[in-house]
Structure 1
Amino acid sequence: MGDLSLVTLVIIAANVVVSLKGFNDFSFFERYKFNIAAITRGEKVRMFSSGFLHVDIAHLFFNMFSLYVFANVVIAFLGNFKFLLVYVVSLLLGNLLSLYFHKNEPYYSAVGASGAVMGIVYAAILLQPGMSLYLFFIPIPIPAYIFGIGYMLYSIYGMKNKVGNIGHDAHFGGAIGGYITTLLFASWLFEKNLLMVILLALPIVLLYILKKAGKL
């Protein structure tokens, strides 16, 4: 994993500062969280600001730890500026997908960097598909691409069945953001890792098919 780059450190610091403010200031939290009714009224800043708020310390830690684990892989291939673009695009696309799926639910609200972080995770898997992950509850290494595809499929299941108080659609939208921007920045992946490009696209295609068929 190595040392934190400056851009990763700035992102983590921004998440910590904004989240701590939100923990201690209810009106601040309410003003900047993702909320369908407020966004449709024109409060578009929530599409961005909600990605820096978290519900509690555990939520914040999990997202920032996941970012720490995968950030350097993306930075090593794309550099700091493109890494930042992947992060921001993933954050916004995650919230756009949430807005699309919940547009008729004015009271729907969400917070968290999960969409942006999932974009970085998906980017890292695309760029270095051979890496392995050690998950807390599984004692053997899991190939990163298996984790990525499995998580996306679980997100579809979660969206379909409304599993838990989790923004599955934001996670999925973030992963799509990471997928698209990484392929734009690293078009050589079509030659070097075409199979992985296709495999990681399968959950995205499945989501489209299910939505068109009215199953979501």
Structure 2
Amino acid sequence: MGDLSLITIIIIAVNILVSFKGFKDRAFFEKYKFNVGDINRGAKYQIFSSGFLHVDTSHLFVNMLTLYFFANVVIYDLGSFGFVVVYLSSLILGNLLSYYFHKNESSYTAVGASGAVMGILYSAILLRPDMMLGLFFIIPIPAYVFGIGYLLYTIYGMKRRLGNIGHDAHFGGAVGGYALTLVLAPWILQLHLLMVILLAIPIVILFVLQKMGKI
């Protein structure tokens, strides 16, 4: 937490500017949101652009608040460049996983920075697995326990299609943050090998369920 770095301020500012443009301009929102039908017809840019749009101010606020809480943890260990790599890669991987699961649903749409933010959150969890997070902002739990539990819940949400939530984009973003952080900070394998293995369990479960045709 603490003071925001310049790169975090820039990313938050871009999200705010693009989102508010979308709030006021419906044509702009429709052009740049994630829409499977449009993507199938060639609008591949939506896989990236939709990550800066939000449904409303509450959606925007929650994502930017989460980013604020965990950005500095990632920047401290990976630097500003590493932070940007994790953020943008998680955004894209989250939407690519969402596209993979919904590519035959031409009416499926989504927006939000959640995939990118989940990537930053899971990067921070790998870097600081012993930090404490507040479940419902009240109950303190170790970061790695939250990370495992949330991914398992996300798999359940994907299977049941719970709520108006892009669970697959969340999962893909988290996997992006997990994988990119290991590439950028391989020393984690020496210091936190058990946590790396534990956090990989939900990823393996999703892969197995997908291969079995159960998700």
Q: What TM-score results when the alignment is normalised by the length of structure 2? A: 0.98
Runs (4+) of structure 1 moved beyond 4 Å?
none
- Where 2:182 maps in the other structure, the secondary structure is helix
Structure 1 unmatched ranges of 5 or more:
none
Q: Which amino acid aligns with 1:56?
A: D
- Where 2:3 maps in the other structure, the secondary structure is coil
How many Å apart are 1:136 and its aligned residue?
Answer: 3.5
Say if 2:208 is the partner of 1:209.
yes
Identity %: 68
Whole-angstrom distance in 2 between the partners of 1:128 and 1:26: 41
Say if 2:104 is the partner of 1:107.
no
Whole-angstrom distance in 2 between the partners of 1:11 and 1:148: 24
Whole-angstrom distance in 1 between the partners of 2:196 and 2:56: 35
Number of residue pairs the alignment of both structures matches: 215
Whole-angstrom distance in 1 between the partners of 2:93 and 2:113: 12
Say if 2:118 is the partner of 1:118.
yes
Q: Which residue of 1 aligns with 2:11?
A: 11
- Where 2:139 maps in the other structure, the secondary structure is coil
Whole-angstrom distance in 2 between the partners of 1:45 and 1:36: 12
RMSD of Structure 2 on Structure 1 (CA): 0.8
Say if 2:199 is the partner of 1:200.
yes
Q: Which amino acid aligns with 2:208?
A: I
Structure 2 unmatched ranges of 5 or more:
none
Which region of structure 1 is more displaced relative to structure 2, 146-155 or 203-212? Answer: 146-155
Q: What TM-score results when the alignment is normalised by the length of structure 1? A: 0.98
Q: Which residue of 1 aligns with 2:139?
A: 140
Superposition pairs for residues 40-189 of structure 1, below 5 Å? 40-136=40-136, 139-189=138-188
Q: Which amino acid aligns with 1:124?
A: A
Q: Which amino acid aligns with 1:76?
A: Y
- Where 1:122 maps in the other structure, the secondary structure is helix
How many Å apart are 1:44 and its aligned residue?
Answer: 1.1
How many Å apart are 1:116 and its aligned residue?
Answer: 0.3
Q: Deviations over 1:127-178 (max 9, x none)?
A: 00010012335x3311111111111111100000010000000000000100
Whole-angstrom distance in 1 between the partners of 2:126 and 2:192: 8
Whole-angstrom distance in 2 between the partners of 1:190 and 1:156: 25
Q: Which amino acid aligns with 1:178?
A: G
Q: Which residue of 2 aligns with 1:26?
A: 26
Whole-angstrom distance in 1 between the partners of 2:200 and 2:136: 27
- Where 1:164 maps in the other structure, the secondary structure is coil
